[in-house]
Amino acid sequence: MTLSQEEVAACLEDSAGWEIDEQEFMTKEFTLPSFGKAIAFVDEVARLAEDRNHHPQITIDHKKVTLRLRTMDVNGLTQKDVESAYAFDHTVSRFLN
């Protein structure tokens, strides 16, 4: 079920830096201490995404990793996106040292 604009806004209030971009994806940029840590983080994001069967768009630019979430089969944001964002936020701390 697609989230309403109000529900998305409420979720973003509780998020740590997630925003809605111009194409209505939930988007966040993570800055890691090194390229190796960025790749390790992306590997963990991939594992989490596979476990959830919900895959983000990923851009890697040296130490910066940008994740974009949207539930493609309903062409909008759903609880899957919010839960994935939460999981990615909680795993990144392992790669920040």
SS3 93: helix
- The domain segmentation of the chain, as residue ranges, is 5-95
The pTM assigned to this predicted structure is: 0.93
**Residue 74: per-residue pLDDT:** 92
Q: Name the one residue in this structure whose structure tokens are 């809605």.
A: 20
CATH superfamily, domain 5-95, is: Transcriptional coactivator/pterin dehydratase (3.30.1360.20)
How confident is the model over 28-60, as pLDDT tens digits? 999 999 999 999 999 999 999 999 999 999 999
Q: How many CB atoms lie within 10 A of CB 8?
A: 20
